[in-house]
Structure 1
Amino acid sequence: MPFGSLWIPVIVSAVVVFVASSILHMALKYHKADVKSLPNEDAVREALAKGNPVPGVYFTPHCADMKQMKDPAIVAKFEKGPVAMLTVYPKGAPMMQKHLALWFGFSVLVSFVAAYVARHTLHPGEAGMLVMQVTGTVAFAAYALSYVSDSIWKGQPWANTVRAVVDGAIYALLTGLTFRLLWPAA
């Protein structure tokens, strides 16, 4: 089957996911619990500003290599706390248009990969449920599973991961359903 016949479900499913994610984040607002404010935010911001960190990801206490984990001074820093991973963004208000455009691009990429896998495993006119199963599974892997490693390695609260995985399951179902409805006939 020519890949060109799959561009419509690729783009439509990306649009459907984009709209669904907008509803989940702006209307339902259950992701408000994903981040918290520090009780002494102003003092922490002032302390960070003194170091003038460039955008990036920082860890404190920082160890250049694992050998330092045996250093009693480093061990004491970990025991005293706080232990934190911090993402520093560029100065200025968040550029929502950029983030939304990147999110839509990612959604197109996920749908493209789902279409690629489906194209090589299914045939035109294939049963709708099988189309939904293949494309939805690929979409679930892309939209949901990566968040689990954030809780394992980056300290992301598991509640955040559960919310993200639920979102991913919704996006996967919508992707699979879109492909099922728009799958090329035999």
Structure 2
Amino acid sequence: MVSVPALWLPILLSGILVFVVSSIIHMVLQYHAGDSRAFPEEAKVMDALRPFEIPPGDYVMPRPASTKEMNEPAFIDKMKAGPVAFVTVIPNGPMAIGTSLARWFGYSLLVGAIAGYTAGLTLGPGAEYGLVFRVVGMVAFAGYSLAILQSSIWWYRSWRFTFLTMFDGAVYALLTAGTFGWLWP
């Protein structure tokens, strides 16, 4: 067994590598640029919604008051008439990218720590590179990618978004696995 404190270096270094590579993916490669689209006549949609002063949060429309209402003709008519939407409203003003980047780095450290913890429970000191790579890589892939499937299953995000994000997760998992395999005590 290998303790998590003994894995501080691969946890930190893999978090840094994931952060740097994700920055390259999003700022240089930019294949996520098509993940979302603008509303048709965006200015008119924004002008129409602005008077409601919608607070930040997650919304669905139409929103049934209960599961029973979902089967009522009036609600079904609303669904047919549309638009049907899942919308996340964020605070007005420029996005707080620094906060999001700090959270992302913290998340990358957490995935590395959980992957390291799992490998530490199952592998001993001196385990061979390939074994460490497989265990850490699989746990890191689960941490970075698997829950993303729910975005398309339940929230109707495009499958393109989901699969590209899972591809990113596979890249991050490979970086994490390689770092742990290299620095395993």
- Normalising by structure 1, we get a TM-score of 0.97
The residue number in structure 2 matching 1:135 is 136
Q: Does the Cα contact within 8 Å between 2:3 and 2:117 map onto a contact in 1?
A: no
* d(CA) in 1 for partners of 2:71, 2:178: 53
The residue number in structure 2 matching 1:29 is 30
Change in CA separation of 1:181 and 1:43 when aligned onto 2, cut-off 3 Å? same
Confirm or deny that 1:98 pairs with 2:99.
Answer: yes
Residue 91 of structure 1 and its aligned partner are, at CA, apart by 1.2
The residue number in structure 2 matching 1:158 is 159
Confirm or deny that 1:12 pairs with 2:16.
Answer: no
The residue number in structure 1 matching 2:145 is 144
Q: Unaligned 5+ residue runs, structure 2?
A: none
Residue 72 of structure 1 and its aligned partner are, at CA, apart by 1.5
Alignment deviations for residues 52-111 of structure 1 (CA, whole Å, 9 cap, x no partner): 111000000111211111221211110111110000001110011100000000000000
* d(CA) in 2 for partners of 1:2, 1:118: 10
Worse-superposed segment, 91-100 or 66-75: 66-75
**Secondary structure of the structure 1 residue equivalent to 2:58:** strand
The residue number in structure 1 matching 2:112 is 111
* d(CA) in 1 for partners of 2:11, 2:71: 51
**Secondary structure of the structure 2 residue equivalent to 1:59:** strand
The residue number in structure 1 matching 2:125 is 124
* d(CA) in 2 for partners of 1:88, 1:129: 44
RMSD after superposition: 0.8
**Secondary structure of the structure 1 residue equivalent to 2:88:** strand
Q: How many residue pairs align between the two structures?
A: 184
* d(CA) in 1 for partners of 2:4, 2:166: 29
Q: Does the Cα contact within 8 Å between 2:58 and 2:89 map onto a contact in 1?
A: yes
The residue number in structure 2 matching 1:167 is 168
**Secondary structure of the structure 1 residue equivalent to 2:49:** helix
* d(CA) in 1 for partners of 2:69, 2:5: 54
Q: Unaligned 5+ residue runs, structure 1?
A: none
Partner AA of 2:135 in structure 1: V
**Secondary structure of the structure 2 residue equivalent to 1:34:** coil
- Normalising by structure 2, we get a TM-score of 0.97
**Secondary structure of the structure 2 residue equivalent to 1:31:** coil
* d(CA) in 2 for partners of 1:156, 1:133: 30
Q: Does the Cα contact within 8 Å between 2:4 and 2:113 map onto a contact in 1?
A: no
